Structure 1
């Protein structure tokens, strides 16, 4: 009998980056049931995190990248584990992969649900000034991964900086 990977491991925490003009926290907030697929990941290491490590119930910091202000704008929860990213097979999608094969998919996505939008973003400057969050992967020079693990301590520190209580 196959063991339930999520039942075996404790909840994990992640940071997912997205450009707000492409898909920001406001887009997620307006999605049906505040739930949407997290598609378009086209980096192998980030794909591996999505495919192999992100589990049902894991919690995620929603980070706006490339557009000011950079920072964490809220939190999400994983509500569906990895499945093939159908945008890779759609020639009309900006994430189309002409080498994509539905029989042997290369790219994966998960579904996320909005937990909360922060009253004010936790900006990159705020993260840099805090002893705990300044050590996050997202703060490392040259770190461009769109999917990154976050420690429980970092998760709690971001919520402290946001002035909000931790979600269940």
Structure 2
């Protein structure tokens, strides 16, 4: 199993929207690097669900339930999407500021490439972030 982080603007698609829908496609990704990461996602992988823009925090966890397939919102036919299922909310969301304050996480794309919407999270970093959630 691999771990990921997917970003969304809560005004466009929020954690509450995801929970209500349960399973939905993760479409609209138009960055080649983010799209490349989505190609690597496998059924059963987990991803942090991150609210971007004003909130800048991890608010939940989703599971990849369908691997990379054509994105029907892409008129060019170049990009694809995956399906995700809401797994659980984080009772204590983990802020970007808290993540950036921990030197063990400084290597994450979240800290280095703020505009990237899909990124891998290594297993140790996943565990560290979950520990942060339990302490906030």
Same fold (TM over 0.5): yes
User: What's the offset of the Cα at 1:37?
Assistant: 0.5
Larger Rg: 1
CA distance in 1, matches of 2:101, 2:3: 21
Select the residue among 52, 58, 63 that pairs with 1:65: 52
Relative to the length of structure 2, the TM-score reads 0.93
Q: Does 1:108 align with 2:80?
A: yes
User: Which structure 1 residue ranges, 5 or more long, are not aligned?
Assistant: 1-10, 89-96
Give the Å deviation of 1:48: 1.5
* Distance in structure 1 (CA, Å) of the matches to 2:84 and 2:133: 21
What residue in structure 1 maps to residue 66 of structure 2? 80
Describe the SS at the equivalent of 2:33: helix
Name the SS for the 1:163 alignment partner.
helix
Q: Is the contact made by 1:40 and 1:85 (CA closer than 8 Å) also made in structure 2?
A: yes
Distance in 1, matches of 2:46 and 2:96, equals 20
**Please, what is the CA RMSD of the aligned residues?**
1.4
Cα pair 1:132 1:153 within 8 Å, conserved: no
Who is 2:89 aligned against? Answer: 117
Correspondence 1:1-168 to 2 at 5 A = 11-31=1-21, 34-51=22-39, 53-67=40-54, 69-88=55-74, 97=75, 100=76, 105-140=77-112, 142-163=113-134
Gaps of 5+ in 2: none
The answer to which structure has the higher strand fraction is 2
